[in-house]
Amino acid sequence: MKTLYVTLLSGFLMATAGKAQITLLNVWHEPQDGNQHGVRLYDSTGAIPKTTGMGQAWDFSQMVMQSTPASVVNFMAAASVPSASLFTGATVVGDHGSNSYSYYKTNASQLEMLGTWSSTGTTMYSDSRKEMIWPTTSGTTYTDTFAATKSTSTMTTSITGSLTSLASGFGMLELPGGAIFDSVLQIRYDKMTMLGDTGAAPNNTTMISTVYKYISGKQRFPLVTVTYNSWSDTTNTMMKNYMVEINYLVAVGINDYNFDAGFAIYPNPAKTQINFSLSNPQFEQCEVHIYNMTGQEVKQVNLGNSATIAENVNIEGIPAGIYVVRTHLGNKTSVRKLIVE
């Protein structure tokens, strides 16, 4: 049986003590029956944001969506999928479409990959792969090993590898379309996978992968996943690629995060004051909270409940930097980015 090493980087946590954090828990962040996760591939027009540490501002807003169709996974209880009986302990299954499934074991301490099944082949883990441990917060790290066998009609492939995960950053993230999330945890995975084929033309492949996942405290699935792969085979052929996947179910739903298309905050960038302008036909109470990039609230203002709100807010004394403005209108919320010069 393998050993799973879990530590909290004490120095990292001491450096961020007292600052707002998020904690990922199984009840909020592991796949469950009825969930749907959809991603689309995007191309980069510049450097891909992947800086680590506290107080980050990851800007993916300039990414360009590729024309390839979206990839959607629908999750369901394992009991409803007959082939799940092949994977002992499976509790939830991801349906990728085209008769292709992935099988997971979920519990309060970790999320495990048990295998995959499709009409063309089956992958079964004899030593499961840890996808996540619970709880996870800034600085959480673990190391895991895994082993599996993939079988098709023509060959059998052995799979072994190791994975190290580190919750390496915390901050704000902006998606294409303008949706902004102000409590995002960055998790970095470093994975080595070795494949050994035993078919008519045996081939051994080693793959090195570095993956960055950006997870919001308010969304079950990652907002963005960035993957870098490099691999070589027995012919010594070296190949590399990268992939940016964005949760399009969130990116296209930006109206959920901007309650009023006419809502404006200006000037932006600002120096000593900002203006708020929005309509409030229901006469709901409006409050503004401004947070820095470590999640600390630096200012709170009550804008009242007038039908038309046009207020000037003094921000003198707020240091230059990037901030998140969270505006509450009744039970609706809008999140905007603010730059103070």
Is the pTM value of this prediction over 0.85? no
What does the pLDDT look like over 283-332, one tens digit per residue?
A: 999 999 998 877 788 999 999 999 999 999 999 999 999 888 888 888 77
Q: How far apart are CA 7 and CA 1, in angstroms?
A: 19
Residue ranges of the alpha helices (H) in 177-316? 248-251
Sign of the CA dihedral 269, 275, 277, 280? positive
- As a whole-number percent, the residues of the chain with pLDDT over 70 amount to 89
Q: How far apart are CA 199 and CA 176, in angstroms?
A: 44
pLDDT band at 155 (very low <50, low <70, confident <90, very high): confident
Q: How far apart are CA 34 and CA 16, in angstroms?
A: 36
Please tell me which residue, 9 or 159, carries the higher pLDDT value. Answer: 159
Q: What is residue 116's DSSP assignment?
A: E
Q: Which residue has the tokens 């401004």?
A: 290
pLDDT band at 78 (very low <50, low <70, confident <90, very high): very high
Find the farthest-apart pair of alpha carbons in the chain and give their distance in angstroms, rounded. Answer: 76
Average pLDDT over residues 103-107: 96
Q: How far apart are CA 13 and CA 24, in angstroms?
A: 16
Give how far the C-alpha of residue 321 lies from the chain's centroid of Cα atoms, to the nearest Å.
24
Structural tokens at position 93: 């299954």
**Residue-wise DSSP of 223-260:** SEEEEEEEEEETT--EEEEEEEEEEHHHHTTGGGT-S-
Per-residue pLDDT, 202 = 62
Give how far the C-alpha of residue 2 lies from the chain's centroid of Cα atoms, to the nearest Å.
27
- Cβ atoms of 4 and 144 within 8 Å: the answer is yes
Pairing of strands 140-152, 156-174: antiparallel
Nearest residue to 30 (alpha-carbon basis) of 125, 181, 133: 133
Q: What is residue 48's DSSP assignment?
A: P
- Cβ atoms of 52 and 186 within 8 Å: the answer is yes
Is 80 exceeded by the pLDDT of residue 193?
yes
What does the pLDDT look like over 25-65, one tens digit per residue?
A: 999 999 999 999 999 999 998 899 999 999 999 999 889 99
Indicate the SS3 state at residue 284: coil
First to last CA, the chain: 55
Indicate the SS3 state at residue 100: strand
Q: How far apart are CA 24 and CA 165, in angstroms?
A: 14
Q: Alpha-carbon dihedral of residues 165, 51, 229, 180, nearest 10 degrees?
A: 90
